[in-house]
Amino acid sequence: MQKLYLENRKEKLELLNGLSLERDDTVDNITPLQQEVLIVWGDNDQIFLLEKAAELKELLGEKARLEVIKNASHVPQLEHGAKFNKIVNDFLCGSDD
């Protein structure tokens, strides 16, 4: 985890500073998707805050499903691998629990 966050830190911060998901800029460019979409997010993500996940879900349309993993940050697949795998498996198998 330390290596993930500390390596190339300056470049990553510059990239994040230039990133935004503004509704006015993207609404015309994003067509609601026809296929089911899974978004998995850590509730303590300090790189992309949870509110961005909700905005993304809304922009992608009704077929987008947001799953939030508690006590996880930016890499929930590493921090809570079993929970992440269950979410992905349930999604792929068509389960809503």
Domain ranges, residue 49 = 2-93
Q: What is the 8-class DSSP label of residue 35?
A: S
Location of structure tokens 């790189």: 47
User: How many structural domains is the chain composed of?
Assistant: 1
Instruction: Write down the pTM of the prediction.
Output: 0.71
- Supply the pLDDT for residue 54: 93
Domain of 34, CATH number, reads: 3.40.50.1820
Least reliable range by pLDDT among 12-16, 23-27, 72-76: 23-27
- Supply the pLDDT for residue 95: 74
Q: Which of 72, 74, 7 is nearest to 46 (CA)?
A: 74
Separation CA 70–CA 42 (nearest Å) = 6
Q: pLDDT of 37-82, one tens digit each?
A: 999 999 999 888 999 999 989 888 889 999 999 999 999 999 999 9
